[in-house]
A and B are shown apart, each in its own frame.
Chain A
Amino acid sequence: MGRRRVELCAEGWYYLFVLAFIVGGATLRSINLLYLLAGIMIGPLLWNWRVVVLSMRQLQVQRRLPAAIVAGRPIRVEIEGINHRRRLGSWMVVVQDSVQSGASGPRSSRAAPPAKATVILPYLASGASGRTAYEAVLPLRGWYEFGPLHVSTRFPLGLVRGSCRIPRVERVVVWPRIGQLSPRWLSAVSRERAGRQPMAYRHGPIDGDYYGLREWRPGDSLRWIHWRTTAKLGRLTVRQFEQLQNQDLTLILDLWQPEPADEADQQRVERAVSFAATVVDDVTRRGASRLTFGLAARGHGCWTAKAASGFSKELMDRLAVAEAADDDGLAAVLRETLPELAPGSRAIVVSTRSSQVERIGGGTAFTRRHRHLRALSRVLWLAVDDPVTDAIFQLDAP
């Protein structure tokens, strides 16, 4: 906790004014009953001050944020108060939290004033904790700052306020907005595989998650036999697994933006980022696929891993802070990504601009390498302002 302050509220000043009037009357006119009345008024004021001072002592307040925050989706921010005192509970502890976009980020509109969230911890018994929560919707991706926390109480009469500022600021990264992929997305990806031999990759000895037991059928691997059950039942019984479909995907995000950029350009960038984030999220949820992700933006790169939650988190963090650029890093990303393209699969480029395949293919880096050119022909270009893309991907307005 920061430094505690105790001060009179506005109501306390009014109260003091009336009290001064009564004391003045009592002194000037020597009316004892007015002294008594003044005493009756001073008592609550001092009590309020004392309770406020004690209530703020050994009081700890902290914020709990969810592990993942997605732009546009409500999050529950928990405020926990812990009363470390052995005696005396704290009542009506008001906690004010600030939520503000981070100082650095991909957008220029970061200077907006912070939003304030005020919650009440009704009662914190001595030695106990209590929680309350508020809901926040962070509309844009990027860095956000929570804090500082202002803790105050005016209990029980609202005349004196004890307050404290907890200066610690929590920086969180907000992932891009997640949209919806229509069934056409799957069909578009699948169509690219049509006529080709399906690739059955085995990721380890087991083909998926354990589901149950069933009788042995011809063609079942011997490794699947559950010997204990077989012995128990007297017939061959095998373990059954969730069958996984090969969904290996190469996704390249092209965040090109002219300089200077207008609002439409920025919206295209955000839509492209959200599209990519939605694809990453979708692939991760389906699981057991290999994902290759290339980012052509300010600070481009390429990453490949099994589509699991850890990789997804890494990519989401990158997408959250990805910034568009007017330089052409796409060719380099394609050069790095396409050679790793699995046989029979295609790369999907989500871009803020129209197809640049021909231009890149005509470049020196590709004309001299036939293998690269062949791979370039397997690129599916999805420009975010293309009606085809609209049919695949829908994103709610922030």
Chain B
Amino acid sequence: MSIERIVQIHIAVLTVVGAVLLGFGRGSPELPLLVAFAAVTSLIFTDLLGWFRLNHFVANLAALLALFFSLQEFLAGDSRSQLLAVANLLVYLQLVLFYQAKSHRLYWQLAVLSLLEVVVAAALRVGIEFGLVLIAYAATAISTMAYFFVYREIERVAGNGAGEEQRGALPAQQSRPRIRLLASPARLGQTLVGWGLAFQTAAVGVATLVFSLVLFFSTPRAEIAGRQAMYSRSVRLVGFSSEVRLREMSRILQSDEPVMRVSYRDMQTLESYRVLGDPYFRGAVFTEYVSYGGDSAWRQRRMEPSGSRPRASMVLNRFPNRPPRHRSVVRQDVTLEPNDSATLFAIFPVFGIEQTPDDVMFDPFAGRLFTAAHDPVARGVSVRYQVATTGLLGGLQLDITPHENRIQASSEERESLRQELEELVRFDAGRFPELKAVADAIVGPQQAAGARRAVMARSLRDHFLAPERYTYTLDFTQIRRTPGGDPIEDFVFLNRAGHCEYFASALVLMLRSQGIPARLVTGFHGCEFNALGDYYQVLQNHAHAWAEVYLEPDEMARELPPGSYVSPGGGWLRLDPTPGASRDRVRQVEKGLLGVVDDVLDYARLVWADYVLGLSAQRQRENIYNPVAEKAAIESWADFARRLATDREFVLQQLRRFAASPYGLATAAGIALLAAAVGWRIRKPSPARSPVLHAVRRLTSRLGISPADAQGPTRPVAAAFYARLESLLARAGLNRAASETPLEFAGRAIAQLREEWPGGPSPEVEVMSVVEAYYRVRFGRQSLAEGERERLEGSLRRVREAIAALATFRQQHAAGEPSPAGSGRGEGEIEQQVIS
């Protein structure tokens, strides 16, 4: 394969990989597919076969059209669309360039366009897959540059392209010396393309990777938080919204996309805190059930315009309360993926702590945690926040959380609570006759018996959990709700199939039908523990809805474990009526190999998001500069050295720790590789004595990728020829003694061959020509002349044929068959041998 063809293939691969990176940024595969198609077809039909080539006029016209088309896109859209328009333009220009006759300039242009595509992609939000493909892109780019350089250099020297030096040697200038190169470009290319160049390219790649990582992490960032991307896509939270609508007519698709990662730490010890079971992460609270246009929906609590408006400080509040000291307080470190909502999620109750960002706020009126920094323009930024909770006890999440209005310090706040509780028992009995009948049937006797509110609520919940009474489904294509009727009434009376929102809504309405204050809560239930990163990962399909029942303080005290903190504002009892066996939120708990791989990938995503996309000045200080400074502190090293010198147990401990660490493993692997390389280099047996190695070398030599061949017409090549000759003769059982010179050995070998098979093909001339060339080049400091290498190849081929013929002769001779025609030994002689 010619060096130019290799360059063309490299350029094609480079542009395709660049387009793939752009595809990651755009979130669509169309452009990579288009570029891949153009790259392959142009490589075949334009470069290889030359069937189709755009002339300059048509190419320029097409480029102008692409420019105008992209300009329209650029002017019509927002900033992200403008960036995508630029990306489109780059791809269009590449397409035009692909189908032109290639020149050095065109190759450069294609490569630069590809690089600009990667730049644009880097400005968009991309996942860790971008990083992985970026490594492949870098490797391809380096390889492309290396081969393109070789191609250009050879072209330049050979004067086929831009050989200005050779122009002075035109025959017309009779008085000037005339110069002609003896090595052809094709041969130079074949000489260079081999393992050596590949090794160099690989070395550049590895060095580049290491260097870029060091540079990336050590380059000081600005004090502002590291921006993850200029323009990025935000993720819509499936199953979570500011309004819960109950009119599903299709199949709801689940998504495995991550929503957030949560890690827990005990506030006192700062040790990692393990949560048992599936926690409930509260998001939004819905209090108002409305029907409109054939649909029904839950809405969040809104401030009324009338005089019952609560105090402003209660609506947007910066955590008025600190976490109680006598309770077990757990810190929640949450990283929420970019999404289209300002709502934040956490285990409730939440408290602000020192690490809580300023823009994280709590709305006690709506019972919602949210970020004030949510900006639709700056979408695509992960939200990281830390809040404390007292909702965990012994690793388990408590069923009851205190009411948000905890203090009730003023009459205003008491009035607000009264109004809220009034809202939470509003129920339209005319709209839900069957639902109320069912609730009455369940709770009626208990109510008459004066049962506590919590007992009645749990009875209603158990109604939904009874086996085979209700069916959990996400597929609504087969369910026909009653036209004009309420979907919850229909769910309880006719079509007892639905998802968590139906179950939770039905329970809330049943509770309200019995005068029990209740509300609907949406958020996430369940998570997956990632042991590698020591965090819990919440996915889109963990989205869930459940009900909460208000309990007065005295009843709350009876429900909580003895000695628990009881809020004076009462609390909320969480009830989850969704049948657990078929819930969509729980994923396989036992992790197999794939689960481990998932953990690794997710942890890599976290590292990518935190330490690549989101690397900020603060994170650099905390995770890079400070640890390095501590390690490098003179006192620390001096102390370490002193202990190494004096404390033997400390030394052993350090060695064990190092051996068990990834650094130790990496060091051991490195030492092993180094030892193997050194050993191979020292032991390196002669080709004739190592058949396997020699076979490999011979194969690589024939393929033109042998390092020996890469040296051109120099001494090692001649040595390789002679080595091959010895190898061929060794097949015939002729091995050179250590005391023999090559010439003596050649003479003995020829004599033995003649003696053994006097009439057989004699490779005397061929053998001597190889030996003579070997002597001349090895000892005479001369080069192989032009074409001599081919002649030597021919000589070796004839020696091989002669050896093969000799082997056949020996077989026939051993079997007692007559020798081939031309054999010097007569048939009678053979017969005599057989008879004897």
Give chain A's interface residues, CB within 8 Å of chain B.
Answer: 14, 18, 22, 25, 27, 29-40, 42-44, 46-48, 51, 74, 76, 78, 89, 91-92, 94, 96, 99-101, 109, 112-123, 125, 128-140, 144, 154-159, 398
Contact = CB atoms under 8 A, between A and B. Distances in A.
B123 A34 contact: yes
Interface string B209-236: 1111111100101101011111000000
Interface string B586-619: 0000000000000000000000000011110000
B329 interface: no
A35 B219 contact: yes
Contacts of A38: 215
A123 B145 CA distance: 18
B716 A157 contact: no
Given A31-B227, A37-B119, A44-B145, A122 B712 contact: yes
A102 to B, nearest CB: 12
A118 B160 CA distance: 13
Contact of B177 (A46, A51, A132, A139): A139
Nearest to B146: A156
Contacts of B224: 30
A91 B181 contact: no
B156 to A, nearest CB: 8
Contacts of A131: 713-714, 783
8 A-B pairs with least C-beta separation: A39-B212, A43-B208, A158-B149, A33-B122, A116-B165, A39-B215, A43-B211, A99-B177
A156 B147 CA distance: 9
A119 B157 contact: yes
B230 A29 contact: yes
A33 B179 contact: no
B727 to A, nearest CB: 22
Nearest to A99: B177
B149 A130 contact: no
B192 interface: yes
A42 B163 CA distance: 30
B145 A33 contact: no
A36 to B, nearest CB: 5
Contacts of A112: 173, 175-176
A44 B612 contact: no
B714 A30 contact: no
A129 B783 CA distance: 11
B212 A42 contact: yes
Contact of B213 (A33, A39, A120): A39
A396 B823 CA distance: 54
B175 A157 contact: no
A133 B145 contact: no
B711 A122 contact: yes
19 contacts: A18-B112, A29-B227, A30-B221, A31-B122, A31-B123, A34-B122, A42-B212, A101-B177, A109-B175, A117-B169, A117-B179, A119-B183, A123-B191, A131-B713, A135-B180, A136-B177, A137-B177, A139-B175, A155-B149
Contacts of B512: none
A130 B712 contact: yes
Contacts of A89: 196
Given A30-B226, A30-B227, A120 B182 contact: no
Interface residues of B, number: 79
Given A30-B224, A109-B175, A156-B149, A123 B216 contact: no
Contacts, number: 226
Interface stretch (B199-207, B284-292, B302-310): B199-207
Contacts of A43: 204, 207-212, 215
B612 A33 contact: yes
A132 B716 CA distance: 14
Nearest to B163: A118
A103 to B, nearest CB: 15
Given A32-B613, A140-B175, A125 B183 contact: no
Given A132-B183, A157-B146, A115 B612 contact: no
Contacts of B615: 32
Nearest to A133: B182
Contacts of A48: 204
B178 interface: yes
A99 B216 contact: no
B606 to A, nearest CB: 15
Given A30-B221, A34-B123, A123-B712, A115 B176 contact: yes
Given A118-B165, A156-B200, A144 B177 contact: yes
A129 B200 CA distance: 20
B711 A125 contact: yes
A228 to B, nearest CB: 26
Contacts of B168: 113-116
A123 B153 contact: no
Contacts of B179: 99, 115-117, 134-136
Contacts of B31: none
Given A134-B182, A155-B149, 16 more contacts: A31-B122, A31-B229, A32-B221, A32-B613, A47-B204, A47-B211, A94-B153, A100-B177, A118-B165, A119-B181, A123-B196, A123-B712, A125-B716, A133-B182, A138-B177, A157-B145
B207 A22 contact: no
Contacts of B211: 39, 42-43, 46-47
B748 to A, nearest CB: 29
Contacts of A29: 123, 227, 230
B209 A116 contact: no
B710 A122 contact: yes
Nearest to B122: A33
A123 B192 contact: yes
A268 B714 CA distance: 45
B134 interface: yes
A136 B183 contact: no
Contacts of B614: 32
A37 B208 contact: no
A120 B188 CA distance: 8
Nearest to B156: A118
B138 interface: yes
Interface string B150-179: 101110110000010110110001111111
Given A31-B230, A78-B783, A131-B783, A158 B711 contact: no
A227 B119 CA distance: 95
Contacts of B196: 89, 91, 123
Contacts of B138: 40
Contacts of B112: 18
B126 interface: yes
A364 to B, nearest CB: 43
Contacts of A37: 118-119, 122, 134
A119 B224 CA distance: 55
Contacts of A134: 179-182
B496 interface: no
A118 B177 CA distance: 14
A132 B226 CA distance: 55
A177 to B, nearest CB: 12
B401 to A, nearest CB: 39
A114 B166 CA distance: 11
B715 interface: yes
B715 A120 contact: no
Contacts of A123: 191-192, 196, 710-712
Contacts of A78: 783
Nearest to B200: A156
A360 B419 CA distance: 146
A85 to B, nearest CB: 16
B612 A36 contact: yes
Contacts of B130: 33
A44 to B, nearest CB: 6
A235 B694 CA distance: 59
Nearest to B168: A115
B7 interface: no
B212 A36 contact: yes
A31 to B, nearest CB: 6
B142 interface: yes
B8 to A, nearest CB: 17
A66 B146 CA distance: 36
